[in-house]
Structure 1
Amino acid sequence: MKTTGSGRSLVWLLGTWGVTRLLLLLFVFKVYVFPGPDVTSDVSVIYQGWYEVLRTGTFPLDDVTWQYPPAAALAILSPALLPFLGYAQAFFVLAFVADLAAFALLLYAGLRPGKSLRGTWVWVVGVPLLGPTVYARYDVMVTAVAIAAVLAGTRHPRVMGALVGFGAMLKVWPMLILVAVRRRGVWAWAVGTVAAVAALFAVAMPGPFAFLTFQRDRGTEVESLGSLVFHVARHHGWSGQVLLNYGSVEFVGPGVQAVSTAALLLTGMTFGWLLMWRLTATRFEAATVADAAFVAVLMFTVTSRVISPQYMVWLIGLAAVSVCFRGSRMGTPAVLVLLASFVTVLEFPIWFSHVVQSDPLGITLLALRNGLLVLATVLAARALWRATVPREEPAPVPGQPARANETSVSP
């Protein structure tokens, strides 16, 4: 009976993945038009523009929208692997391949002892909830690398370190996977890979680290947690504007710098909490590395000045790899991330115009999505702390008998 049940589960998994991914491809190839603004224009205009510059052997030094580590150039240049397709079409196919790779990794892991297919289901269901945006950004490629890194950790620490380092050079955040890693070899391989990739690009192409300045100068994006202040303030006489700034739609005007600074302070507090947790945690189980990585990325996403829709791909991927372990405590936060992903596709792209206008529908969607992420973060951090940090037993009061002897009766 177990074999039959497992076989049926696999059939449903494969069928659901196939149907949902076919729909995503039909949307990005515009066989069917998805509601809202065209999310594929980032590939056909921005990415292809970067591609034309990168293929000359230099980074887009004069383009403030280039805000990525140097290895991101490989993702942007990757459509050259399919020269028989146009740039955008090749990119969509490669994003699909990255999605397939992540699915295959989670499926393989889920069938191993001590693992579960819950993580595979999270990925299968979560990715299409974001709509065609997921294939129109290179974040799905980065997430596939991160998933591979976490799953490699228990048996192949060197591979894990190399993948974490490479992922960090694609988009920084995979370095957070190391937050609960105790093996020095993993850290050494991660740092070594970062150094090697950085040195390679520094020698081969001018300006690999210009992105640091561009990222520093960003403001408060209209979908971030802090943006809710200005969405409400616009109804009470706030004199600022919503502008396309540094490649995203941001608030510009009085008080924006203060809110952006507050977001940076919250991010600093997040780092402090993670450091305190790491110093006090003593119980490490098979799921701890994955759970801690999920918590860390949740924290940094929620406190960021920018919460773009594609950031949800990171959370779906780490939620999937986390609950892939049977001992994971992240079941409820993973469900909340899936709910937040569904609300995300409603606020972008379907009703993004309402978000930009700060009307009641737009504010409600943002408050709901960000509220779900905050709740997921609090519950995930609480579960991680309780699972790994030992509770301190109260010291006995001098002169009083131990609790175990209180019920005894002397003859």
Structure 2
Amino acid sequence: MLQFHRNRLERSTMFKLSNVGFHQSAEAQKLDDAQLMPWEANKRLWPSLVDIIIIVVMSLLLYWGAWVRYAAAGLPEPAKYRCYALAFWKGTANLGDIPRTDCWFLSLSSSASLINHLQAGGFPSIFIKLIELQSPAKPFHALPHEYPLLSIIPFTLTMLAPSHWYLLVFAIWMSLIAGGVYFMLKRFKSSGAAIAFVVYLVVGSWVTALARFDLVPAALTLGAVMLAERARWKWAFVLLALATLLKFYALVLILPLFIAQQKQCSGARWFSWRRWDGFARFIAVCVVVTTISLLLNVDGTLGSLAYFKDRPIQVEAFQAGLLWLGSFLGYSLQFVYSFGSGNVLSELSSPVSLGATLCFVAGLCYTYWLQWRGRLDVATASLVALLVATVTAKVFSPQYLIWVTPFVAYMGKSNWKWLASWGGVAVLTSFIYPYIYTLASATPGVISVGQIPAFYPAVLLRGAIMLGIIFALLYQAVRIKASRQSSLVSPS
């Protein structure tokens, strides 16, 4: 009995000692965790600090480029945006604190030409009366003659500061959007893709990224494709509709998204709402906004479409490079300034423009067919469609690179082949604008940048690299499919 109590006492003592040891080890573990927490927090904090530093440095470099061009040209694009915004919100008769001399490019017509055409066509008098009431001198009726209605939203950002600070304020907004694209690429792709985007943007869009609003539709189209990859079709098409209503180039991305949705819903019937809900939202958004635009100003709404239809070949377009080659065969060039840019005329303009249009249609159809056959995913098809639209267009402005750059970074990431190829396009674009443009302005007797000897070789080389990227992507798609088929028929 005594031995039993003695053993019980020993077990109790050992249990207490073990509890003491357990609590001591727990306290020690808590102390170690407390000591490690600051280190872990710093470990998580450093990437964020690095990202912020990268975005700040990028923004400073891009603002420097925008300011350099502003000092050379005198009237930057944000000044025009501010004129458009003030004219819309206050009417052309009340342009506010901006002198009329700064807004000389605004059309103050009363839509007389359109009214005459409608009267000759026998349109109802109530429709003609509606147009007569849409005077741009009144608020909410002066629409930009080269941009859709929704462009008023980014233009209004220039009104959020005094007139002498508009360039800085607009640049800050565009820097925030560029930073948003950076984090989108890092979050949903990789750090390499985000860094590549910064490099491409600084090298190729040094003077245009923060002076134009093209980052807005570029961010929307990238977001639409990212959502499409994750089968978020409704929001993907909404973002694409908003991008299209800012700049029409986004129209070429409708079919890549639509084809991707159809392939994902291949098991559903053709009339199933699952197949059409995204596209229906796209149509609904476009119809609503376009209807509002027509009610505000019919002439301004249709004018943005006619603006591109009637434009001649712009000097920087790849088509212009082909006209330059034709000049060696005796087809002379004539340089003119119209539609707010330098353009080139030639006897070959019509056949070259027709050939480029056919290549545009054929390139898009082949791209969409490859995607339908499962040889291209939605992101690659979108990139190819944008490249085809850019290289075959009769207008090529430096800011057009902004449309494609996020997709190149998304697809190529930090791969050296992409860095070399698209980096070459970026370098040539900055060499053309602003360097050759500045050289042309400082050269006596030069009336067009196309007269500088190095200009068209640079334009042709840039276009050739872009064509090379297109053919490489298409060849890779066909080659992958062919290798799959050969592996299926090869003996085991």
- Which TM-score bucket, shorter chain as reference? 0.7 to 0.9
Q: Which has the higher helix share?
A: 2
Distance 1:342 1:255 in 2: 29
Alignment counterpart, residue 426 of structure 2, candidates 332, 341, 348 = 341
Tell me the CA shift for residue 250 of structure 1: 0.9
Give deviations 1:143-179, integer Å, cap 9, x for gaps: 1112222222316322211101110111122233333
**Is the Cα contact below 8 Å between 2:234 and 2:278 reproduced in 1?**
yes
Deviation at 1:27, TM superposition (A): 3.5
Q: Are the structure 2 counterparts of residues 137 and 79 from structure 1 closer, same or farther at C-alpha, using a change threshold of 3 Å?
A: same
Matched, 1:209 2:302: yes
SS at match of 1:293: helix
Unaligned runs of 5+ in 1: 110-114, 396-401, 406-411
Instruction: Describe the SS at the equivalent of 1:134.
Output: coil
Whole-Å separation in 1 of the counterparts to 2:398 and 2:476? 26
The answer to whether the aligner puts 1:19 opposite 2:57 as a matched pair is yes
Tell me the residue number matched to 2:474: 381
Shift of 1:139: 0.7
Post-superposition CA distance 1:89-144 (Å, at most 9, x none) = 332222222212212222222xxxxx322221221111111212111111112111
Q: How many residues align?
A: 380
- Shift, 1:11, TM fit: 5.8
User: One-letter code of the match for 1:168?
Assistant: T
User: What is the alpha-carbon distance in structure 2 between the residues aligned to residue 273 and residue 283 of structure 1?
Assistant: 11
2-structure distance, mates of 1:37, 1:84: 19
Label 1:148 to 1:74 Cα distance change in 2 as closer, same or farther (>3 A): same
Distance 1:389 1:249, change over 3 A: farther
Q: Distance in 2 between matches of 1:193 and 1:252?
A: 38
Aligned CA distance change for structure 1 residues 275 and 291 (closer, same or farther; 3 Å): closer
1:337-376 correspondence runs (5 A):
337-352=422-437, 353=439, 356-376=449-469
Post-superposition Cα deviations, 1:217-268, rounded to whole Å, max 9, x if no partner, equal: 1111111111112323445654331111212211023222222222212212
**Aligned counterpart for 2:410 among listed residues 321, 324, 335:** 321
Q: Secondary structure at the match of 2:344?
A: strand
Q: 1:335 to 1:72 in 2, by over 3 A?
A: farther
Q: How does 1:44-123 map to 2 (within 5 A)?
A: 44=79, 46-56=80-90, 66-82=145-161, 86-109=165-188, 115-123=189-197
Amino acid of the structure 2 residue aligned with 1:170? L
Counterpart of 1:162 in structure 2 is 238
Contact 1:145 1:167 in 2 (8 A): yes
C-alpha displacement of 1:389: 8.1
Deviation at 1:202, TM superposition (A): 2.3
Whole-Å separation in 1 of the counterparts to 2:48 and 2:74: 32
**CA 282–83 in structure 1, closer or farther in 2 if over 3 Å, else same:** same
| TM-score (norm. length: structure 2) | 0.68
State the distance in 2 between where 1:258 and 1:244 align: 21
Aligned-residue RMSD, C-alpha = 3.5
Unaligned runs of 5+ in 2: 1-40, 93-105, 110-141, 262-274, 441-447
Q: Percent identity?
A: 19
For the pair shown, the structure with the greater C-alpha radius of gyration is 2
Higher relative contact order (CA 8 A, sep 6+): 1
Q: Aligned equivalents of 2:148 and 2:367: distance in 1?
A: 24
- Which position in structure 2 is the counterpart of 1:243? 336
Offset at residue 34 of structure 1 (A):
5.4
Whole-Å separation in 2 of the counterparts to 1:394 and 1:116: 31
Matched, 1:276 2:369: yes
Shift of 1:12: 5.2
For residues 44 and 399 of structure 2, what CA distance do their matches in structure 1 show? 32
